[in-house]
Structures are given as structure tokens and as C-alpha cells.
């Protein structure tokens, strides 16, 4: 039963029409990575990679998650197919959790593809990238953390996608650059702590773009712990919420 829920959600998200556009989006950081010396001729390769990764990959990760994960249930509600799922002998929390896991896995996979593209753009396909594995770890943790957050938003709001996109673009860009403790209210800050990219230095514009202009002093371990607990808490809260409240096809609910 669990395998069926997980497998169905995985197949849905890996459908070529849904998956391929996101792979193509991954070519954007690849393009910037390969052309970065044009913008910053004196930058070392590790800085080139770190800048492109922070500016593009982590923001694309939030965007991908916002679009894919917020629709875990809203799409079923809008298509009215939720009725078939809710009247089967499956606990509601299982429906939610296994769909979340499948969807987040796909987002993580897309994030890893973006990382590999970016790395290939800077170091070449076979080049050795010292930040590669930390970035892959950050993207995987980020996919599940963003996924939990956007899934929960999807449970709360009718038009969750708008809220999620505002969060992914607005909040996640602005808040990590804020002074004081504010940066700790952004998922991106924790992912940057996990990735431990080199500092953008004195370049304020680059600092803003790479979300490193704030007072983020988090350690990598704190980043892991905080994101794992955050995801677990939101998935548990979402499971309770989905179990306790009614979910009807949209037009019938009005």
C-alpha cells in the first residue's frame, strides 16, 4: 500500500512532461557557470562555482520545491481525484507522508542534476570539485525541508502556489541578507551553513545575490539538525492537519 502511494507519486513527478522542463532549467546555472569568468575574470574556480551555486542552484531548488511539493494535495483536490484516495482503507497520514517523500526525492534529484551541471560548467565533466558533496548534501536536506514547508502551506491555503512562490522568491532572497538574528528565519541560511561556501568577500552585490550578506554564523551541524527537525515537525503537523480536517474537491467546498 505504502509502495503504491510512493510509486504513484514518483511516477507522476518523473513523467517526462513534468520532469524534463526542470532539467532544462538546470542548464541556466550551467551556462552561467561556464561564462562566469566573463563577469569576474580574477575569480578562482571554487569561488565561481560557489557563487553560481548559491545564486542559482539554491534558488531553483526553492522554486522547484514550491511548484512540485505545494501541489501534493492541491492538485488532487483541484482535479477532484482526491475522492478516490480518501475513500480507500489508507490512513490519511500515510497518503500525505509517502507522497511528500516521493515528491521531495524528485526535487532532490533535480537539485543534484543542477549541482552536477554547475560543477561541469566550472570544472568540466570530470573535474574535481571540493564543494560537490557538501552541496549535494545541502540540496538533499533542502529538498526535504522546503518540501515539508510547502506541503504544509498547501494544506492550509487554497491558492498555496502563490504563497509558496512568494516565499521562494521574496523571503528566501531577502531574509538571509538581513542583519542580526533575522537570517535564521530562512531555510536558505541553514542550507548555506551546510554547504559552507567561501565568503563573497567585500563585493556587496555578490554578497546579496549569494544570500551571504547577513550575519549567518551557523555551523554545518546546526544546519543539518535544524533542517531535519524542521522537516520532521512540519510533516508531523501536516499529517495531523490532513487527518483532522475535511478535504473536498474545490468547487464543492465553496
Of the two residues 79 and 199, which places its CB atom closer to another protein in the complex? 79
Name the nearest CA neighbour of 193 among 22, 14, 47, 58. Answer: 58
Of the two residues 15 and 159, which places its CB atom closer to another protein in the complex? 15
Of the two residues 93 and 169, which places its CB atom closer to another protein in the complex? 93
| Nearest approach, Cβ of residue 248 and another protein (Å) | 6
CB of 86 closer than 8 Å to CB of 92: yes
Of the two residues 198 and 249, which places its CB atom closer to another protein in the complex? 249
CB atoms within 10 A of CB 221: 10
Of the two residues 5 and 226, which places its CB atom closer to another protein in the complex? 5
- Kindly calculate the radius of gyration of the chain based on its CA atoms and give it in whole angstroms: 19
Task: Please list, in sequence order, all residues whose beta carbon lies within 8 angstroms of the beta carbon of residue 30, skipping any fewer than 6 positions away.
Answer: 117, 118, 120, 121
Of the two residues 84 and 126, which places its CB atom closer to another protein in the complex? 84
What cell does 142 get?
533542502
Q: CA triplet 43, 48, 53: central angle to 5 degrees?
A: 160
| Nearest approach, Cβ of residue 233 and another protein (Å) | 22
| Nearest approach, Cβ of residue 11 and another protein (Å) | 10
| Nearest approach, Cβ of residue 244 and another protein (Å) | 8
Binding site for another protein (CB under 8 A): 1, 3-5, 8, 15, 79-81, 83-92, 243, 246-249, 252
The CA distance from 84 to 144, in Å, is 26
H-state helical runs in the chain: 2-13, 16-25, 27-39, 45-52, 58-69, 71-79, 82-86, 92-123, 132-156, 160-166, 172-174, 187-195, 204-209, 220-244, 250-253
| Nearest approach, Cβ of residue 245 and another protein (Å) | 9
| Nearest approach, Cβ of residue 90 and another protein (Å) | 5
The CA distance from 140 to 118, in Å, is 16
| Nearest approach, Cβ of residue 20 and another protein (Å) | 15
Of the two residues 8 and 203, which places its CB atom closer to another protein in the complex? 8
Amino acid at each position: 500500500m505504502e509502495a503504491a502511494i510512493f510509486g504513484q507519486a514518483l511516477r507522476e513527478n518523473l513523467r517526462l512532461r513534468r520532469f524534463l522542463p526542470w532539467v532544462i532549467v538546470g542548464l541556466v546555472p550551467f551556462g552561467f557557470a561556464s561564462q562566469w569568468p566573463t563577469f569576474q575574470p580574477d575569480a578562482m574556480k571554487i569561488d565561481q562555482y560557489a557563487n553560481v551555486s548559491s545564486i542559482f542552484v539554491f534558488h531553483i531548488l526553492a522554486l522547484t520545491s514550491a511548484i512540485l511539493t505545494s501541489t501534493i494535495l492541491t492538485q488532487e483536490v483541484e482535479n477532484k481525484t482526491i475522492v478516490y484516495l480518501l475513500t480507500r482503507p489508507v490512513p490519511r497520514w500515510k497518503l500525505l507522508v509517502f507522497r511528500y517523500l516521493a515528491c521531495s526525492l524528485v526535487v532532490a534529484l533535480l537539485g543534484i542534476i543542477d549541482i552536477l551541471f554547475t560543477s561541469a560548467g566550472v570544472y568540466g565533466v570530470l573535474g574535481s570539485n571540493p564543494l560537490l558533496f557538501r552541496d549535494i548534501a545541502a540540496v538533499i536536506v533542502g529538498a526535504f525541508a522546503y518540501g515539508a514547508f510547502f506541503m504544509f502551506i498547501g494544506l492550509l491555503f487554497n491558492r498555496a502556489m502563490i504563497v509558496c512562490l512568494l516565499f521562494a522568491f521574496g523571503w528566501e532572497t531577502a531574509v538571509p541578507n538581513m542583519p542580526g538574528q533575522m537570517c535564521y528565519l530562512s531555510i536558505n541560511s541553514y542550507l548555506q551553513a551546510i554547504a559552507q561556501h567561501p565568503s563573497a568577500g567585500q563585493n556587496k552585490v555578490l554578497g546579496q545575490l549569494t544570500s551571504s550578506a547577513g550575519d549567518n554564523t551557523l555551523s554545518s551541524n546546526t544546519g543539518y539538525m535544524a533542517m531535519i527537525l524542521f522537516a520532521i515537525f512540519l510533516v508531523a503537523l501536516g499529517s495531523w492537519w490532513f487527518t483532522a480536517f475535511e478535504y473536498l474537491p474545490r468547487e464543492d467546498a465553496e
